[in-house]
Structure 1
Amino acid sequence: MKVLEIRGVKKKLGKKEIIKGIDLSVSEGEIFGFLGPNGAGKTTTIRMLVGLIAPNEGDISICGYNVEKEKEKALKNVGAVVENPELYNYLSGRENLMQIARIRGVSKEEIQNLIEIVGLKDRINDKVKKYSLGMKQRLGLAAALIGDPKLLILDEPTNGLDPSGIMDFREVVKKSAKEKGMAVFISSHILSEVQTLCDRVAFIDKGVIKSVEEIHDNVVKTELESLTLMVSKDKNKALEMLRSLEWIQKAVINEEEIHLIVKTGSTNNILRHLIEKDIEVEEIFKNRKGLEQRYMELVEGGVR
């Protein structure tokens, strides 16, 4: 089941077009990453998802309900931590959660369970004004999980968390997605965390989705991969030949190395052509296959 569907969404702020027509969907039980540089349109997209602003064109649906036309029904299925969690600093952590629990008709037992899940049981009765940023993030996550929402939206959720908190957060999100069938939409600058956590990831830049790709066993499945090649001599000859091959998208010399962006699975063909042209290969290896390399390819324009 598609929990979240974004179709043809565009958004202007003033005269500037921030989102230029994006299409996305997130399924039940899926953890979906949303990556891009500052100013790419991530926060604007998330603000539209939670109904804070409306798109100029296109539709956003949550569990089949249009966010703009059926806001109450759509957002009833959503839990969110957008930017800094909205909390009452003069109340305790428990009192903050109980305010939401009363609105959503959730029992004290469920609230206590969430408190233990996010690791706040020793400080839950303290005033929120005494909380660290990481503790506020934990409390915000607990608040977002009240009532088992169908869609959990998280904007920089590990901000302020120490390594232990990040690991705890990861387990809570994975458990919510896999055991409860919750769809998770997460925007983060920590690429390694997204790679560890997510099933799919979208790369957005300048308001346009550059690519949506799957992650398996912490490796991004891509149509392109990055290689580093070292030849004994005639680097310029090798570069000229490489640029003529159909499998090569980009080839540049960086000091003693040739850096390549190539079609996945084409390494053997490239080596064969080098040998046929009597170019001696000293070394060839694949570079990182993780999000960092893919991010550079899609958002930064290729290898540096």
Structure 2
Amino acid sequence: MKVLEVKDVYKSLGRREIIKGISFDVEEGEIFGFLGPNGAGKTTTIRMMVGLIGANKGTISIMGNDIAKDKEKALANVGAVVENPELYSYLSGRENLMQIARIRNIPKEEVEKVIRLVGMEQRINDKVKKYSLGMKQRLGLAAALLPNPRLLILDEPTNGLDPSGILDFRNIVKKASRERGTAVFVSSHILSEVQQVCDKVAFISGGVIQAVESIVDGVNTETDTITLITKEISKTIDIMHELELVKDVKVDNQEITALISKDSSPQLIVELVKAGIEIEEIFKKHKGVEQRYMELVEGGIR
């Protein structure tokens, strides 16, 4: 089931076009990464998703509700942690959550469930001013999860956290997605974070989504990178450029490195042999999100 649908969205600020026709969707229980460098358009996209600014063109729907036409219904399904969460430092963690519960008519039992989910049982009665940044982030996540949202939006959620805090935060997000079926949208410029936590990732650069791809155990599952050695480099490259299965080709130290469709290396070999190319060696490179990021965002295979 699609929880979030973004269709052909454009956004300009002044005369500058920030978002240029992006489209993607996030399924129930899926952790979706939005990966790109600073200035790529990630924060602008989130601001449109939570109704702070409107799109110039295109639609954003949450649980089938168009945010431009029915903002209240759409946002009723959303929880968000945007950088440092707003908390009452003079209250305890529990008192912060109870304030939200009272306003939104959420039963106390749900507060207790969320406290357990984020692992704050031992510190929940301490004043927030005594919390570390990591504990504040946990409490912010608890507050976002309290109404049991269908979509959880996290904008650079691990900024400023130490390695232990990052690991804890990551595990909580995975647990929420798995146990509650929550769709999670994670915006980040940190490659390792997206690689460790996400099921799928959109690579965005200059307001354009370069690709949306699945991730399994930190490895891109949509394409393969192969290295090929032959004495007929020029002819081989000409042939590869004509093949639809070949997405990108580079030459380095007399080796050809190509980005090809997933599991299409046997077909590539057949096409090259048919063209009379003598292949001395061919092998597949195993790569993760970092390699794919370089291919899509930084201008080619490296």
Instruction: Give the TM-score of the pair, scaled to structure 2.
Output: 0.86
Amino acid at match of 1:303: I
1:224-279 Cα distance to aligned partner (Å, 9 max, x none): 32223456xx4xx4244234232544333334644332343343455564795445
Q: Which residue of 1 aligns with 2:169?
A: 169
Q: Which residue of 2 aligns with 1:299?
A: 297
SS in 1 for 2:224: strand
SS in 1 for 2:90: coil
Amino acid at match of 1:226: T
**Deviation of 1:153 (Å):** 0.8
**Deviation of 1:106 (Å):** 1.9
**Deviation of 1:126 (Å):** 3.2
Indicate conservation of the 8 Å contact 2:152/2:184, yes or no: yes
1:225 aligns with 2:224: yes
1:140 aligns with 2:140: yes
Percent identity (aligned): 62
**Distance (whole Å) between structure 2 residues aligned to residue 8 and residue 93 of structure 1:** 41
Moved more, 23-32 or 157-166: 157-166
**Deviation of 1:209 (Å):** 1.6
1:50-85 Cα distance to aligned partner (Å, 9 max, x none): 112221222222122222332222211111001221
Amino acid at match of 1:244: I
Count of residues in correspondence between the two structures: 297
Indicate conservation of the 8 Å contact 1:243/1:251, yes or no: no
**Distance (whole Å) between structure 1 residues aligned to residue 276 and residue 61 of structure 2:** 55
Q: What does 1:37-186 align with in structure 2 at a 5 Å threshold?
A: 37-186=37-186
SS in 1 for 2:83: coil
1:244 aligns with 2:245: no
1:194 aligns with 2:194: yes
Q: Which residue of 2 aligns with 1:212?
A: 212
Indicate conservation of the 8 Å contact 2:38/2:189, yes or no: no
Q: Which residue of 2 aligns with 1:16?
A: 16
- Alignment root-mean-square deviation, CA: 2.5
Moved more, 91-100 or 145-154: 91-100
1:189-248 Cα distance to aligned partner (Å, 9 max, x none): 3333323332222121111122222223443221x32223456xx4xx424423423254
**Distance (whole Å) between structure 2 residues aligned to residue 287 and residue 62 of structure 1:** 38
Moved more, 174-183 or 131-140: 174-183
Amino acid at match of 1:150: R
**Distance (whole Å) between structure 1 residues aligned to residue 118 and residue 109 of structure 2:** 15
Indicate conservation of the 8 Å contact 1:89/1:128, yes or no: yes
Amino acid at match of 2:79: G
Q: Which residue of 2 aligns with 1:286?
A: 284
Cα distance change on mapping 1:160 and 1:238 into 2, 3 Å: same
Amino acid at match of 1:300: E
**Deviation of 1:146 (Å):** 0.4
**Distance (whole Å) between structure 1 residues aligned to residue 4 and residue 129 of structure 2:** 34
List runs of 5+ in structure 2 lacking aligned partners: none
Amino acid at match of 1:133: L
SS in 2 for 1:280: strand
List runs of 5+ in structure 1 lacking aligned partners: none
SS in 1 for 2:120: coil
**Distance (whole Å) between structure 1 residues aligned to residue 262 and residue 150 of structure 2:** 36
